[in-house]
């Protein structure tokens, strides 16, 4: 071998390993690139399936993802002293899945219905009717879906209202009935009881406020449930939760009402006694803190009168000869007796929803308006003609207290219709109409309870001389009890607040959304309001001398009270469609009255105002002429104020030393 050949062979030998290493590196890099591309493709495909899965995979993906609510609690309702009026408690509610029972035989349906009814203490027909309606509806839906070539959308949820007791829950679980399930729910509990139900109200099926304060305060009380989203494995067990899959719930806020549960109990107790003693069809009472405007108690009682008959409306077209004679029995005028209402909270709250003619309790407003305008002086003498007089246009006016003459102050004290009409004639129509508007009549108070009526007031465009006369003594104007007691606060506020109106409210000033108690509206000069208040003390003194008031303390009343009574005929309701009034009918129920008393105390530093309305005192009271407001409503107002002020710790002002001063 030549030298050249040897050198060439050595070079070839040296090149062999390098070529091998080069090829290995190439294959290694290529493999890594291929693996990376495959992994990238897999990741891309996984992402694509996650973001936009095909139709075949969509249902499977959705089944792997689940969400559960995180319950929050509805806010509580407390009274002004923190006593619980409404709260929520956890529990279980039963519901049925009719679709899961679609293969049941008739015997299996019967067994399910009977056993479930026994377990939850419900009538079998109540469960059976709802279940079978859903089963038949599901059969119809399944047939329709089959004809259209789509999946059926069956009814799968029939819930029964109300939470189960622990015993009922245990019985349902032990049955293990197919298609019968339990779900965790909240139940609204009202520890305040029935006598405050119409104020607190009621929640609906989904725990939303429907009536009363529950509805009015819904924005503050409403809870906002949270949620948690997670992924399940093949056995439906939670695997993991995305960091953003958790949203906590937000519970509602606790709201404190201005209502005081003890004052509500006192008011309910005294009004109930007053209604029974008067053999009345019902009664209404509103107690207000005159400084803050907070409603401390609001009571509405309806009593079923056994001998009352429906008003004999006559079908249209009936000959007059065939009309019924006027009934001798009292007629029922309260539209909806409480016995027909499924829940106490569902009854009408007549303190804010229903109107009545105030009668003589309206006179203090007219008296103060005339006095402020300088149209009459308290010592001015008015001729009252022995209690009988005719207006310039011939309308007959009578007084209960018959005197030849009275001072302007005595006109209010003795409730002279004649004196009040004669003084009001010195006012123009616009002045008297404007006075009523100033005191808030014909307008809602804005208390926030559902169904509040604005009252009824004749517009100035239809005002006439008959209206002017009627309004002077509380007719041809219809008010709600809450309107009336708010207006009376103008006389029942101390110091410079006298003559101003508070913003009437149902919540404490510290509660969310409560009005500012310092916002006031002046309607009278403070001196005029104070003068009217002191004049009305004489009205109370007359009542206490002439009317025996049960419950009078041995040492006498502790607080000096001022107020005004009123007795007004009850107007007929609107004539039903297709009927007319009988020929003998007047505009009012014959011999039936709304008797009321509005009052405040203590005299010099008032804290409370109360209105009591006794609806339709019994015929015996009317025959004895003891149906007047001073007889049936005044004693209730006196006892409520006496007990309420003592409970609140207000110092007495009727000691001999203070009375002399």
**Assigned domain for 299 exists:** no
Q: Which residue range(s) make up the domain with 217?
A: 62-83+192-280
The CATH number given to whatever domain includes residue 233 is: 3.90.1310.10
Q: How many domains does the chain have?
A: 3
H/E segment holding residue 424 = helix 417-424
pLDDT tens profile 586-597: 889 999 999 999
Give yes or no for residue 376 having a pLDDT over 50.
Answer: yes
Chosen domain end from 227, 253, 280: 280
Among 59-63, 204-208, 386-390, the least confident range = 59-63
Determine the pLDDT at residue 184. 85
207, 222 in Cβ contact below 8 A?
no
Residues 244, 486: Cα–Cα separation, whole Å: 52
SS3 404: coil
**Assigned domain for 320 exists:** no
Strands (E), 387-483: 388-390, 396-398, 405-407, 456-457, 477-478
480, 354 in Cβ contact below 8 A?
yes
Closest by CA to 444, choosing from 383, 486, 411, is 486
The CATH number given to whatever domain includes residue 457 is: 3.40.710.10
H/E segment holding residue 297 = strand 295-302
Question: 114 with 226, same domain?
Answer: no
Give yes or no for residue 656 having a pLDDT over 80.
Answer: no
Task: Output the CA–CA distances (angstroms, integers) from residue 412 to 372, 421, 423, 533, 563, in the order listed.
Answer: 15, 12, 11, 11, 10
DSSP state of 489: T
Residues 634, 99: Cα–Cα separation, whole Å: 64
Question: 128 with 257, same domain?
Answer: no
SS3 532: helix
In sequence order, what are the residues at sequence separation of 6 or more whose Cβ sits closer than 8 angstroms to the Cβ of residue 505? 258, 292, 293, 294, 295, 447, 448, 514, 515, 517
Pairing of strands 77-78, 255-256: parallel
Question: 275 with 423, same domain?
Answer: no
Chosen domain end from 528, 558, 576: 528
The gap from C-alpha 104 to its chain's centroid, in whole angstroms, comes to: 45
Question: 127 with 201, same domain?
Answer: no
240, 222 in Cβ contact below 8 A?
no
SS3 78: strand
Residues 508, 155: Cα–Cα separation, whole Å: 46
pLDDT tens profile 518-551: 567 899 999 999 999 999 999 999 999 999 998 8
Other CB atoms closer than 10 Å to residue 103's CB: what's the count? 7
Question: 522 with 473, same domain?
Answer: yes
H/E segment holding residue 533 = helix 526-546
Query: Residue holding tokens 């079998």?
Result: 124
Question: 460 with 519, same domain?
Answer: yes
Determine the pLDDT at residue 283. 96
pLDDT tens profile 312-368: 999 998 998 888 888 888 888 886 555 556 677 788 899 999 999 999 999 999 999
570, 594 in Cβ contact below 8 A?
yes
pLDDT tens profile 410-452: 999 999 999 999 999 999 999 999 999 999 999 999 998 888 9
Question: 171 with 209, same domain?
Answer: no
Phi/psi at 354 (5° precision): -110, 145
Determine the pLDDT at residue 58. 53
Question: 455 with 362, same domain?
Answer: yes
Structure-token pair, residue 161: 């209202």
Question: 396 with 519, same domain?
Answer: yes
Spell 474-503 as b/e; 16+ CB within 10 A means b: bbbbbbbbbbbbbbbbbbbbbeebbbbbbb
Residues 541, 625: Cα–Cα separation, whole Å: 20
Question: 224 with 133, same domain?
Answer: no
pLDDT tens profile 207-256: 888 889 999 999 999 988 888 887 777 666 777 677 777 788 889 999 99
Determine the pLDDT at residue 46. 65
Question: 518 with 490, same domain?
Answer: yes
Cα torsion 644, 645, 647, 652 to 10°: value is -150
pLDDT grade for 657, boundaries at 50, 70 and 90: very low
pLDDT tens profile 114-124: 999 999 999 99
**Assigned domain for 377 exists:** yes
**Assigned domain for 248 exists:** yes
**Assigned domain for 99 exists:** yes
Give yes or no for residue 604 having a pLDDT over 90.
Answer: yes
Question: 207 with 129, same domain?
Answer: no
pLDDT tens profile 38-91: 777 777 776 666 556 665 555 555 456 777 777 888 999 999 999 999 999 888
DSSP state of 557: -
What is the average pLDDT score of the chain? 88
**Assigned domain for 483 exists:** yes
SS3 94: strand
Q: How many CA atoms lie within 13 A of 245 on its CB side?
A: 14
Give yes or no for residue 15 having a pLDDT over 70.
Answer: no
Residue with the bigger pLDDT between 334 and 269: it is: 269
H/E segment holding residue 285 = strand 282-289
**Assigned domain for 38 exists:** no
**Integer Rg of the chain from CA:** 39
Chosen domain end from 253, 280, 307: 280
**Assigned domain for 595 exists:** no
Task: Output the CA–CA distances (angstroms, integers) from residue 445 to 68, 184, 356, 616, in the order listed.
Answer: 44, 41, 16, 26
Residues 122, 172: Cα–Cα separation, whole Å: 13
């Amino acid at each position: 071998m030549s030298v050249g050949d040897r050198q060439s062979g050595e070079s070839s030998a040296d090149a062999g390993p390098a070529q091998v290493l080069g090829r290995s590196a190439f294959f290694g890099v290529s493999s890594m690139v291929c693996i990376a591309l495959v992994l990238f493709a897999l990741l891309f495909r996984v992402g694509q399936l996650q973001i936009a899965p095909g139709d075949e995979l969509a249902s499977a993906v959705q089944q792997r993802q689940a969400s559960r609510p995180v319950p929050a609690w509805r806010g509580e309702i407390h009274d002004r002293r923190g006593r619980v009026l409404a709260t929520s408690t956890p529990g279980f509610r039963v519901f049925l899945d009719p679709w899961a029972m679609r293969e049941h035989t008739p015997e299996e349906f019967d067994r399910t219905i009977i056993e479930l009814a026994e377990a939850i203490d419900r009538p079998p027909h109540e469960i059976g009717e709802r279940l079978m309606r859903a089963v038949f509806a599901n059969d119809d839906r399944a047939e329709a879906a089959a004809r259209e070539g789509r999946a059926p959308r069956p009814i799968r949820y029939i819930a029964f209202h109300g939470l189960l007791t622990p015993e009922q829950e245990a019985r349902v679980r032990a049955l293990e009935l197919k298609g019968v399930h339990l779900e965790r729910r909240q139940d609204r509990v009202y520890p305040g009881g029935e006598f405050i139900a119409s104020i607190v109200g009621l929640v609906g099926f989904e725990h939303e406020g429907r009536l009363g304060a529950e509805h009015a305060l819904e924005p503050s009380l409403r809870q906002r449930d949270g949620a948690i989203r997670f992924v399940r494995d093949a056995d439906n067990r939670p695997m993991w939760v995305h960091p953003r899959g958790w949203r906590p719930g937000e519970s509602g806020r606790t709201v404190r009402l201005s209502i005081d549960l003890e004052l509500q109990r006192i008011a309910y107790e005294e009004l109930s006694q007053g209604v029974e003693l008067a053999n009345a069809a019902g009664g209404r009472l509103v107690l207000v803190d005159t400084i803050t405007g907070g409603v401390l108690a609001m009571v509405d009682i309806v009593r079923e009168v056994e001998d009352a008959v429906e008003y004999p409306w006559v079908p249209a077209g009936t000959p007059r000869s065939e009309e019924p004679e006027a009934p001798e029995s009292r007629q029922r005028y309260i539209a909806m007796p409480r016995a027909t209402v499924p829940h106490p909270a569902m009854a009408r709250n007549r303190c804010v929803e229903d109107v009545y003619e105030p009668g003589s309790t309206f006179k203090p407003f007219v008296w103060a308006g005339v006095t402020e305008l300088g149209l009459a002086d308290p010592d001015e003498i008015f001729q009252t003609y022995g209690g009988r007089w005719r207006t310039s246009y011939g309308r007959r006016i009578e007084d209960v207290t018959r005197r030849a003459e009275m001072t302007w102050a005595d006109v209010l004290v003795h409730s002279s219709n004649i004196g009040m009409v004669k003084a009001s004639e010195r006012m123009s129509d616009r002045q008297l109409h404007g006075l009523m508007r100033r005191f808030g009549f014909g307008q809602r108070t804005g208390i926030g309870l559902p169904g509040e009526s604005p009252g009824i007031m004749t517009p100035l465009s239809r005002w006439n001389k008959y209206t002017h006369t009627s309004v002077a003594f509380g007719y041809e104007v219809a008010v709600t009890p809450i309107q009336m007691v708010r207006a009376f606060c103008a006389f029942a506020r101390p110091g410079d607040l006298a003559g101003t109106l508070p913003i009437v409210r149902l919540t404490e000033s510290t509660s969310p959304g409560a009005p500012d108690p310092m916002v006031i509206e002046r309607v009278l000069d403070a001196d005029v309001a104070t003068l009217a208040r002191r004049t009305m003390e004489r009205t109370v003194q007359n009542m206490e001398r002439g009317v025996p008031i049960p419950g009078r303390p041995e040492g006498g009343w502790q607080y000096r009270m001022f107020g005004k009574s009123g007795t007004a005929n009850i107007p007929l309701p609107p004539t039903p469609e297709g009927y007319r009034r009988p020929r003998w009918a007047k505009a009012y129920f014959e011999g039936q009255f709304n008797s009321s008393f509005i009052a405040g105390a203590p005299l010099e530093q008032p804290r409370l105002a109360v209105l009591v309305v006794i609806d339709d005192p019994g015929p015996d009271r009317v025959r004895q002429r003891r149906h007047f407001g001073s007889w049936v409503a005044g004693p209730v107002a006196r006892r409520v104020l006496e007990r309420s002020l003592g409970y609140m710790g207000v110092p007495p002002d009727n000691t001999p030393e203070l009375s002399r001063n």
